[in-house]
Amino acid sequence: MSSIAIFPCTFTPAHTVANALAKALDIKLYEDSDLLAETSQKYGTSIEKLQQAMHGKTSVFNQFTLEKEKMLNHLRSVLAEKLEQPDRYMFYGFMTALISQEVSHVLKVLLVGTRQTRIAAAITTGLTEKEAKKAVRSDDVKAYGLTDFLYKKEAYDSSLYDLVVPVELKSDDDLVDIVFQYFHKISILRTAQSQQAVQDMKLETMVESSLLLAGHKIAVSAHTGEIVLKVQKSVLNFDKLVSGLTSIVSQVDGVTGVDVKKSKDYNDSIYRQQNFDLPSKVLFVDDEKDFVQTVSERLISRDVGTYGVFNGEQALSVIEEDRPDVMVLDLKMPGLHGVEVLRQTKRVAPEVEVIILTGHGSSQDMLECMELGAFAYMNKPVDIEELSATIKAAYKKVSEVSEDN
């Protein structure tokens, strides 16, 4: 049986239309919250992490953790199982973007309004004009963040949908009727080809999951058991990578063949397989930008994933929004002093292990930092192996505490 999926353009009647269509077609309304709950139950992952992957901005540490890819993979896997069922659904939410374009028995719909129309609609909910503009922009940033991550396209790009309907000068009933008529007119049918597309989508998630668990971020496509992997970043030994990827993917049930190709942007940057047992969420805070870049590159080559910021205010902002495991912190910086950054960090995120790395500290500074809970106090110039070992020791402490909890 056929289904409909509506992507949410906020401050339009999209949700009202979805409810009305579900009632008119006598099908179940299935929303993002339902998918999040089912995925959390299946994989034992918190709803908060899944929701962050779907609706939140990408973590600055994601290039090392691949957490967003893992969470979206879980969501897409459960969604593929839902599409495999004979039941019809009225899908509503960001999950619309996760449905494969080849699954033709799901009508993908966008009900979209102009920015001014949506701001006016937001004001009718009791918001001021300033608040309404902020709300519309915030919602669009979330929507664009997901589709850009998945497809490098804007959320309201018409190529992502089968039907795009402007809401201006249309009543809710008009919008329901347009979608209803289109749904029946073009005969959205569950054909053998569309059913195969669901199986391909399901196999893609299985293959992607195996690759992600092994630390590989690779574009995956499937067609009746044949898997195509596209490597987007250059690698020193491509043949060795092909062998390793083929070995992983061939073990997935349902795979009949593997073809590893170079994508068109293959030479953009260096391919790196992630090692999730080593530190991948390290925040480096120092006002010397060249120093941060140089040391970060040397640490990354030692499988320590770092993200650099250049003052205390930026560091606290990252800690508030995107919790690191370990922070390497300079003391003498313009603005907020490193000791105050340490103090505030330990107040809001005591689980973050902080390593002081400074060229201008005193014995009194060292004493104060250790009393505030710093993991270690190191002086510049620093031996990169010693710094790497200290970060790994701090990460080990974080991991042990996490396991105990």
Domain residue extents for the chain: 3-186, 195-262, 282-404
Q: Phi/psi zone of residue 256: left (φ > 0), alpha (ψ -120 to 50 degrees), beta?
A: alpha
Q: Alpha helix (H) ranges present in 128-270?
A: 129-151, 172-185, 192-213, 238-250
Q: Residue 133's beta-bridge partner residues?
A: none
Instruction: Say if residues 198 and 222 touch (Cβ distance below 8 Å).
Output: no
For 3-186, CATH gives 3.40.50.300
Q: What is the pLDDT of residue 264?
A: 80
Superfamily of domain 282-404: Response regulator (3.40.50.2300)
What number of other Cβ atoms are within 10 A of residue 263's Cβ? 14
Q: Do 3-186 and 195-262 agree at the fold level? A: no
DSSP state for residue 57 in the 8-state scheme: P
Burial zone of 385 (CB within 10 Å; 0-12 exposed, 13-18 middle, 19+ buried): exposed
pTM reported for the whole predicted model: 0.88
User: What kind of architecture, by CATH, is found in domain 195-262?
Assistant: 2-Layer Sandwich (3.30)
Half-sphere exposure of 337 (CA within 13 A, CB side): 8
Instruction: Please report, in tens digits, the pLDDT of each residue of the chain (405 residues total).
Output: 689 999 999 999 999 999 999 999 999 999 999 999 999 999 999 999 999 999 999 999 999 999 999 999 999 999 999 999 989 999 999 999 999 999 999 999 999 999 999 999 999 999 999 999 999 999 999 999 999 999 999 999 999 999 999 999 999 999 999 999 999 876 666 788 999 999 999 999 999 999 999 999 999 999 999 999 999 888 878 899 999 999 999 999 999 999 999 988 776 556 677 887 888 899 999 999 999 999 998 998 888 999 999 999 999 999 998 999 999 999 999 999 999 999 999 999 999 999 999 998 889 999 999 999 999 999 999 999 999 999 999 999 998 877 666
- Three-class DSSP labels, 232-297: CCECCCHHHHHHHHHHHHHCCCCCCEEEEEECCCCCCCECCCCCCCCCCCEEEECCCHHHHHHHHH
Q: Alpha helix (H) ranges present in 28-102?
A: 32-43, 47-55, 62-65, 67-84
Q: What is the pLDDT of residue 271?
A: 67
